[in-house]
């Protein structure tokens, strides 16, 4: 970034005029200290003293004296490709504009309309470049003003509650996000009715948040209700209905219900091809979604064909440095990996990481995601030390950028502990597993889950049941890491409590779900086999504890960990969404 020129208390005579065509990357900040006329588009607009304007290089810039000498301060900056400066200047300007609007009106409906028409896209762009704090500040300024002038029992207040929920979701503060999303849905239901399009849309958003809390049954029940409501409100063949259908396909996809997802996504893609054409952004996005579902069904050649088409479309129309292109490259590399084409996956993912760093910087969530995916490929290739180093770097960045409790950081912690254990850093792995367990299941026994299992754990309580399912896998990991580290007594304690936990939860799951369950939350889980494998593992663990060296201990541990899958919420950080 270079400062081209600066003016302080500059005085220009009456009749003075300056105009310059915009230049990419060049910014001018101008503060008037007297009356002036500012160039805005093709017009010269009167401006009072103490007016601040920022010209961003995409338009003509200039000013003129307005019937008297003009006094002003100004600075002209060449930002070039300095994304940080450009993003910060953009955010400052939008925040300034938002504050002006909020201070000029006392009409709640007008505030909502103005935000939707003028600021919604800008705020979403801020979130996209991870200026979440500024986005939150703008939303809260509108929201607070609506509350001040109209109270809470109105549509604008509920609308901004929903926008605030979106920001909290982005920050990983899901409890807060869920609270305000539920608030918006309840207010819309009351004030607009359940069949109103806005109410239906609010319910769709809420269903995704419920999913993050493991409230799978709610989302499952909502699926048909949502689709039928949308058809009734918008019509059978409306774009809105197919938008909802696509969201429901994504819900099914995320639960591993790939056949149901495919059935819906095929209808969405067919509709968009017919109405928007093959070479259309929204159609291509549907192709990407379809590819992800096909990949889940292990139809990898079909998925690859679509993903290559998606990547080429974004590259040709938006360039390599566009977010959609980078995400398309990420997904294509992951498919190469799943096909066992590791060298191609590695080449593409390394290129993608450089592009993301160049475009968004090292501390952007997408860059961090690519780092994790690259570390997975390195691990597949047996380059364990390189994989560990990159995983650790990405985990630390995720903690810094997203926060320690963010779901993506938790996934990263799980992966890092796994990789530390793989390369023989058992003490470090054990410490990380123990920290991980404490973060996902914090009982009221001083943070000690083992004491809670002994005294208060109730497998018939839904919260306890889901919490146990999430924590059982890392408990087994922890027991193995500890015994490999030579901490035999502590290892035995965790192994015993893992078995105790399994003995408590599996009979309940068998009774409630059946021997093999194919619902959304435990798809394909064979609970009787889970329990017998856990018991077999514990027997081998006792042999190892007593100084024996059972040859099949590591193999049995791997098998039981595979069978007792870690809960969906915290599975290994794998892929970005298409």
Q: Render pLDDT for 188-243 as a digit per residue (tens, 0 to 9).
A: 999 998 878 788 778 877 877 776 654 444 455 566 676 777 777 778 888 778 87
User: pLDDT per residue over 413-463, tens digit each?
Assistant: 989 999 999 999 999 999 999 998 888 777 666 678 888 888 888 877 777
Q: How many CA atoms lie within 13 A of 301 on its CB side?
A: 0
- 33 with 86: CB under 8 angstroms? no
The string of pLDDT tens digits covering residues 41-64 is 777 788 888 787 777 766 778 888
150-154, 249-253, 415-419, 549-553: least confidently modelled range: 249-253
**Better pLDDT: 256 or 263:** 263
Flag whether pLDDT at 374 surpasses 50.
yes
* Residue 578 near residue 293 (C-beta atoms within 8 A): no
Token pair for 378: 């390195």
Of 256, 177, 180, 171, give the one whose Cα is nearest residue 213: 177
pLDDT of residue 99: 79
Q: In what helix (H) or strand (E) does residue 71 lie, and over which residues does it extend? A: strand 70-78
What's the mean pLDDT in 127-131? 64
CA dihedral sign, ordered 115, 117, 118, 124: positive
pLDDT for res 575? 43
**CA–CA separation, 279 and 309 (whole Å):** 10
**Global pTM exceeds 0.85:** no
Lowest mean pLDDT among 108-112, 349-353, 564-568: 564-568
Is pLDDT of 471 > 70? Answer: yes
Residue bearing the bigger pLDDT, 570 or 271: 271
Q: Which two three-digit tokens encode residue 97?
A: 């504009």
**pLDDT tops 50 at residue 277:** yes
């Amino acid at each position: 970034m270079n400062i081209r020129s600066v003016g302080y208390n500059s005085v220009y005579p009456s009749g003075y005029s300056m105009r310059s065509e915009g230049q990419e990357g060049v910014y001018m900040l101008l503060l008037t200290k007297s009356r002036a006329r500012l160039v805005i588009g093709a017009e010269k607009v009167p401006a009072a003293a103490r007016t601040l304007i920022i010209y961003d290089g995409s338009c003509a810039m200039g000013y003129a004296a307005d019937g008297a000498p003009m006094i002003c301060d100004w600075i002209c900056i060449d930002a070039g490709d300095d994304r940080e400066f450009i993003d910060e200047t953009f955010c400052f300007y939008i925040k300034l504009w938002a504050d002006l609007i909020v201070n000029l009106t006392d009409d709640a409906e007008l505030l909502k309309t103005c935000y939707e028409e003028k600021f919604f896209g800008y705020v979403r762009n801020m979130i996209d470049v991870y200026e979440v704090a500024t986005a939150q500040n703008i939303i809260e300024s509108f929201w607070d003003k609506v509350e001040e002038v109209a109270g809470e029992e109105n549509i604008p207040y509920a609308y901004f509650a929903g926008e605030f929920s979106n920001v909290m979701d982005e920050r990983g503060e899901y409890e807060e996000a869920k609270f305000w999303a539920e608030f918006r849905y309840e207010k819309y239901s009351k004030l607009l009715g359940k069949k109103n399009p806005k109410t239906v849309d609010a319910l769709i958003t809420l269903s995704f948040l419920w999913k993050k809390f493991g409230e799978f049954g709610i989302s499952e029940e909502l699926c048909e209700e949502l689709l039928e409501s949308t058809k009734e409100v918008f019509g059978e063949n409306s774009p809105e209905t197919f938008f909802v259908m696509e969201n429901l396909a994504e819900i099914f996809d995320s639960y591993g219900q790939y056949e149901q997802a495919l059935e819906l996504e095929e209808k969405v893609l067919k509709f968009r091809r017919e109405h928007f054409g093959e070479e259309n952004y929204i159609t291509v996005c549907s192709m990407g979604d379809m590819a992800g579902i096909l990949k889940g069904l292990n139809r990898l050649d079909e998925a690859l064909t679509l993903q290559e088409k998606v990547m080429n479309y974004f590259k040709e129309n938006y360039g390599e440095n566009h977010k959609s292109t980078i995400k398309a490259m990420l997904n294509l590399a992951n498919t190469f990996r799943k096909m066992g084409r590791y060298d191609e996956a590695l080449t593409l993912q390394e290129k993608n990481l450089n592009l993301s760093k160049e475009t968004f910087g090292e501390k952007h969530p997408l860059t961090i995601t690519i780092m994790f995916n690259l570390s997975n490929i390195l691990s597949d290739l047996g380059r364990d030390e390189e994989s560990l180093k990159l995983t650790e770097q990405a985990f630390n960045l995720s903690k810094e950028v997203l926060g320690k409790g963010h779901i993506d950081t938790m996934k990263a912690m799980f992966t890092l502990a796994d990789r530390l254990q793989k390369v023989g850093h058992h003490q470090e792995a054990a410490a990380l597993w123990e920290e991980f367990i404490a973060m996902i299941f914090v009982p009221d026994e001083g943070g000690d889950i083992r004491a809670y299992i002994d005294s208060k754990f109730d497998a018939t309580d839904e919260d306890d049941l889901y919490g146990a399912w999430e924590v059982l896998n890392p408990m087994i990991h922890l027991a193995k890491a500890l015994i490999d580290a030579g901490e035999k007594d502590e290892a035995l304690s965790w192994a015993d409590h893992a078995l105790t936990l399994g003995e408590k939860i599996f009979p309940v799951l068998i009774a409630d779900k059946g021997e093999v369950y194919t619902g959304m939350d435990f798809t394909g889980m064979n609970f009787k086999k889970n329990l017998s494998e856990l018991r077999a593992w514990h027997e081998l663990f006792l042999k190892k504890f007593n100084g024996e060296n059972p040859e099949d201990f590591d193999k049995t541990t791997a098998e039981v960990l595979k069978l007792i899958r870690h809960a969906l919420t915290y599975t290994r950080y794998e892929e970005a969404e298409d």
